Chain A
Amino acid sequence: MSSEPVPSDPAGSPLLSMSGIVKDFPGVRALDGVDLEVRAGEVHCLLGQNGAGKSTLIKVLSGAHTPDTGEIRWQGRPVTLSTPTAAINQGIATIYQELDLVDGLSVAENIYLGHEVAPGGITRRRAQNAAAGEVLGRLGHTDISPTREVGTLSSARKQIVSMARALSRQARLIVMDEPSAVLAQDEVENLFRVIRELTGQGVAVVYISHRLEEIRAIGDRLTVLKDGRTVATDLPAASTSTSEVVSLMTGRSIEYVFPPRPPKPTTSRPTLLTVDHLSLDDVVRDVSFTVAEGQIVGIAGLVGSGRSELLETLYGARRRTAGAVTFDGRVLPRGRVTSSVRRGMGLAPEERKSQALLLEESVLRNVSLSSLPHFSRFGWMSRRKERHDVTAGLASLQVRPSDPGRPARTLSGGNQQKVVLARWLLGDTRLLLLDEPTRGVDVGARTELYKLIRQIADDGVGVVVVSSDVPEVLGLADHVLVMRDGTAIHQGPADELDETRVLDMILEGTAA
């Protein structure tokens, strides 16, 4: 523990300063020269679109990733944060969205996990509870009992416990990754109160959020990231206009090539899917739209806006609580994937590796999984027909390497996605639901995937694409839905929208 006395900061010298941080991953440069400067006692907000490098930057700060080049100065001195423990010992704590608390332990045990109040290895429960109560008191939360089991607390309170843990470790900088995402409105106000308590004691907070109204309410200064670079820093959080922020976040240095949209058909194409006032508890609320044959419908929105849940609900992977889904003229039963698939729907889920693929199995078995009845009579497989059809399917999607016997695990992200597409194209899928189709797919392979998706649509298949990447939705889709807080706040043709307007709607919640 480095609870050494803080060197008297020379006036104006920042608590943390990062400069020229570069981090490469195979095929992707996640950070390409990030500068960030945080002063003691301030709330510094970090903004950027999906993929701008915020998460990687947090991981560098928390010691989970080591940057390839660049300098990190902490309290004026250069440091290397090679492990999470090193970062914590320096006084940098990170509070992730999925809180890292142990549900079965008490509040005090969680706060002091790893640095227990236990002289000589013998736990002093009473002393530890008292100390935990004191830390919670500093956050204005004497109402949380140190002896309460953490699993019984709400997520808002768990967040407070996480912050108490950071404080108990003498953290001088707390990084919060979208802390408000799991909170209700009044809980957000409480969070702000706690943050002000912290900054009042000289602790700095790096606050990441997509909600501009929150940033204006709590933030002091603003840094904007785009394509792994800092594009603006030292902006006043309260007075920077939305249009200025949006213009900083938009436009990208790497332009993807999207396939041209086909000319608008003169006669309207037959409707394939009608989603009618669909709801899933509070997560998806009253969403209606249609998909025609050969049409690509794009759904834009932030993580947590209910996009993925909307897809999964209309697919039947979740049980809808209200509304109807009509596919091919028939209302689908609630929560039955098997019947959706039998009628010709297919989903390429967001978590490709855990939700779509059997990683250890061969590509062949992955592709044929959904259409086994096509290759069998009375359950008996015709392996020659299977191999023949799968090989043809892989070839038409140009999956590389083309060997169907390879384990799916050995393929790149883009080719794994093609394996999932091949699975659905092998059956007579007429509606494809794609959740973040280019996630984990490197730059070069994206353009190819876009072309493939357009080709699939041109063959008469209806496609629904969900993406956090606004340009991707606008470039690929014919028709766009913008989601926020579980509702579709805008619907319209893609060519009538631009990135700025969509971001405006997503961030501000103002429907056009």
Chain B
Amino acid sequence: MTQPPDQRTDARSQTVPTDEQARVEAAAARTGAGIAALRDHPALAPVLRNLGLLVVLALLCVVGTSTSPNFLTVDNFRNILVSSSVIGVVTVGMTFVIIGGGIDLSVGALVALSSVWASTVASQSHGAAVMILCAVLVGTGAGIVNGVLIAYGRLVPFIATLAMMVSARGLAAKMADNKTQIVTVQQINDIALKEYAGIPLLAIIFGAVVLAGWLVLNRTTFGRRTFALGGSSEATRLAGININVHTVLLYALSGACCGIAAVMLLARTTTGSSTHGELYELDAIAAVIIGGTLLTGGRGTLVGSILGVFVFTTITNIFILNNLATSVQNITKGVIIVAAVLVQTRATSRHVST
């Protein structure tokens, strides 16, 4: 208390950078100066950001290889890719919505509705192209309804998409008359059978959607505005950006992804059904969350979400190879979600405290 107050102010204002410095220095000492320098290298940044998930994936591969002789085979990796592809496409749309500060609970129901609508007798009579167009348009249209309810109707995203989830599945059941619709158009079924250079067409579609999504998120004004909207909708609005239009576009994009996923599912199962895509919303949200995207929006990566999808699909794959019950599988998934979010919140709270 004897210290002159002025000096004390100085000391206090310096504590923040000193702490930061100390931490950085300690980290550098731990990892070695060379690695610390590498950390800032732009090419390595995405790898390091998702280091946790890559480690988990590597561990899963070790577990898979040691428990089943069939795990480490080309066929099995192709399996993992194909079973990741449908939910993966849905997850791309979900990543946009969550980074933009929203949530879309209707994705599973929209996949079902799109698959049923595209596989009605009338739709099938027009051939594959019309079926694909129909699926994507139905998904996009329902997404626009979500967006309009949220942006202009001022509904909370959770409520609006919950309502859509229930009613879209209801509509799908009504249209299909609670029956499973068989796809007789061979070109659609071929999507699941074709391969190019040994890579299944489904995986190629998945890859193309991810690439397009990554470019839109990271290289376009649309992507920029998505991050801004999720970071602070008020600041984004006052910066002169039409946040209502942007919100509608985000949910439309998510719906369009559901439409694409519906086509892929039509091909894989050769059926359209109102029970398709059940719990996709939870799988997609879980993948986005363990991929490091903040549920409150503003921050996240598409690469992380996709790695999240691979983690979940690989777990399922290992359990199937070992003939284990799905109950144990679900427990494992739950543990992984909690662990990932714990790591994430600790990382953010450390940010805030500095």
Binding site for B on A (CB under 8 A): 22, 24-27, 29, 68-69, 315, 317, 337-338, 340-342, 346-347, 349, 354-361, 365, 368-370, 372-373, 375-376, 379-381, 383, 423
Contact = CB atoms under 8 A, between A and B. Distances in A.
Nearest to B242: A338
A357 B221 CA distance: 17
Nearest to B240: A341
B237 A337 contact: yes
B228 interface: yes
Nearest to A427: B240
Main secondary structure of the interface of B (DSSP, over half): helix
Contacts of B8: 24, 68
Nearest to B231: A358
A272 B241 CA distance: 23
Contacts of B231: 358-361
B286 to A, nearest CB: 23
A342 B220 CA distance: 19
B9 interface: yes
Interface string B169-212: 00000000000000000000000000000000000000000000
A169 B222 CA distance: 55
Contacts of B220: 376, 379-381
A260 B224 CA distance: 40
10 contacts: A22-B5, A24-B8, A317-B238, A338-B240, A346-B240, A349-B238, A358-B227, A361-B227, A369-B236, A379-B220
Given A24-B8, A338-B240, A370-B239, A357 B224 contact: no
Contacts of B241: 338, 369-370
A373 B232 contact: no
B240 A381 contact: no
B276 interface: no
B37 interface: no
Contact of A355 (B222, B228, B234): B234
Contact of A369 (B9, B239, B299): B239
Nearest 9 pairs between A and B by C-beta? A341-B240, A358-B231, A26-B13, A372-B221, A370-B239, A379-B220, A338-B242, A369-B239, A24-B9
B338 interface: no
B232 A354 contact: yes
B222 A379 contact: yes
B13 A342 contact: no
Contact of B221 (A26, A337, A376): A376
B35 to A, nearest CB: 20
Nearest to B230: A358
Interface string B220-264: 111011011001101111111110000000000000000000000
B8, B241, B351 interface centre (most CB from chain A within 10 Å): B241
A367 to B, nearest CB: 10
Nearest to A22: B5
Given A337-B237, A338-B240, A341-B240, 18 more contacts: A26-B13, A317-B237, A338-B242, A354-B232, A354-B235, A356-B235, A357-B235, A360-B231, A360-B299, A361-B231, A361-B298, A365-B224, A370-B240, A370-B241, A372-B224, A376-B221, A379-B222, A381-B221
B30 interface: no
A348 to B, nearest CB: 9
A436 to B, nearest CB: 14
B221 A373 contact: yes
B126 interface: no
A24 B13 CA distance: 11
A387 B232 CA distance: 22
B335 interface: no
Contacts of A360: 231, 298-299, 351
Nearest to A340: B240
B350 interface: no
A26 B222 contact: no
B243 to A, nearest CB: 9
A315, A346, A381 interface centre (most CB from chain B within 10 Å): A381
Contact of B9 (A27, A340, A379): A27
B239 A341 contact: yes
A358 B9 contact: no
A68 B4 CA distance: 11
Nearest to B225: A372
B298 A29 contact: no
B21 to A, nearest CB: 13
A25 B234 CA distance: 28
B12 to A, nearest CB: 6
A337 B240 contact: yes
B304 to A, nearest CB: 16
Given A360-B299, A361-B227, A361-B231, A423 B239 contact: yes
A24 B221 contact: no
A339 to B, nearest CB: 9
B232 A27 contact: no
B222 A358 contact: no
Contacts of A69: 1, 5
B12, B236, B238, B242 interface centre (most CB from chain A within 10 Å): B238
B298 A380 contact: no
B240 A380 contact: no
Contacts of B351: 360
B41 interface: no
B346 interface: no
Interface string B1-34: 1000100110011000000000000000000000
Contacts of A370: 239-241
Contacts of A361: 227-228, 231, 298
Given A337-B237, A357-B235, A358-B228, A380 B299 contact: no
